[in-house]
Structure 1
Amino acid sequence: MALQQIVEETVTGLGYDLVEIERTAGGLLRITIDLPWAPPAEGQPAPLLEQFITVEDCERVTRQLQFALEVDGADYKRLEVSSPGIDRLLRHEQDFIRFEGQEVDLTLKEAIGEAATGSINANRKKFRGTLERAEGGGWQIVWSDAPPIKPGVRVSKKREAPPLQALGFTFDELREARLAPIVNFKGRAAKPE
Structure 2
Amino acid sequence: MTGKATEISELLAPTVAALGLELLGVEFAPTGNSAMLRLYIDAPGRHVAIEDCEAVSREVSAQLDVADPIASEYTLEVSSPGIDRPLFTAAQFGRFIGEQAKLTLRLAQDGRRRFIARITGVEGDVVLLSHEAGDMRVEHDNIEKARLVPDLVALGLAAQPKPTGPGGSRRKAKTKES
How many residue pairs get aligned? The number is: 143
Does the C-alpha gap of structure 1 residues 138 and 22 become closer, same or farther in structure 2, counting only changes over 3 Å? closer
Does the C-alpha gap of structure 1 residues 30 and 139 become closer, same or farther in structure 2, counting only changes over 3 Å? closer
Q: Shift of the alpha carbon at 1:95?
A: 0.7
Q: Shift of the alpha carbon at 1:53?
A: 1.7
* Structure 1: 5+ residue stretches without partners: 37-49, 113-122, 146-164, 189-193
The separation in 2 between residues aligned to 1:27 and 1:175, in whole angstroms, is 19
Does the C-alpha gap of structure 1 residues 186 and 15 become closer, same or farther in structure 2, counting only changes over 3 Å? same
The separation in 1 between residues aligned to 2:139 and 2:35, in whole angstroms, is 35
The separation in 2 between residues aligned to 1:73 and 1:88, in whole angstroms, is 28
| 1:14 maps to which of 8, 16, 19 | 19
The separation in 2 between residues aligned to 1:173 and 1:3, in whole angstroms, is 20
Bigger relative CO (Cα 8 Å, ≥ 6 apart): 1
Identify the structure with the greater helix proportion: 2
Contact 1:88/1:179, CA 8 A, preserved across alignment: yes
Does the C-alpha gap of structure 1 residues 13 and 21 become closer, same or farther in structure 2, counting only changes over 3 Å? farther
Q: TM (normalized to structure 1)?
A: 0.56
Q: Give CA-to-partner distance per residue, 1:119-159, whole Å, 9 cap, x none.
A: xxxx3333212110279x954222347xxxxxxxxxxxxxx
The separation in 2 between residues aligned to 1:78 and 1:15, in whole angstroms, is 24
Which residue matches 1:26?
A: 34
SS at match of 1:95: helix
Asked if 1:186 is matched to 2:163, the reply is no
Which residue matches 2:108?
A: 110
Q: Shift of the alpha carbon at 1:99?
A: 1.1
Asked if 1:130 is matched to 2:136, the reply is no
Which residue matches 2:84?
A: 87
Asked if 1:58 is matched to 2:53, the reply is yes
Q: Give CA-to-partner distance per residue, 1:49-89, whole Å, 9 cap, x none.
A: x633222211222233344455x384756432112333333
The separation in 1 between residues aligned to 2:138 and 2:151, in whole angstroms, is 23
The separation in 1 between residues aligned to 2:60 and 2:10, in whole angstroms, is 12
Which residue matches 2:4?
A: none
Identify the structure with the greater strand proportion: 2
The separation in 2 between residues aligned to 1:183 and 1:63, in whole angstroms, is 34
Q: CA RMSD in A?
A: 3.6
Q: TM (normalized to structure 2)?
A: 0.59
SS at match of 1:9: helix
Identity of aligned residues (%): 30
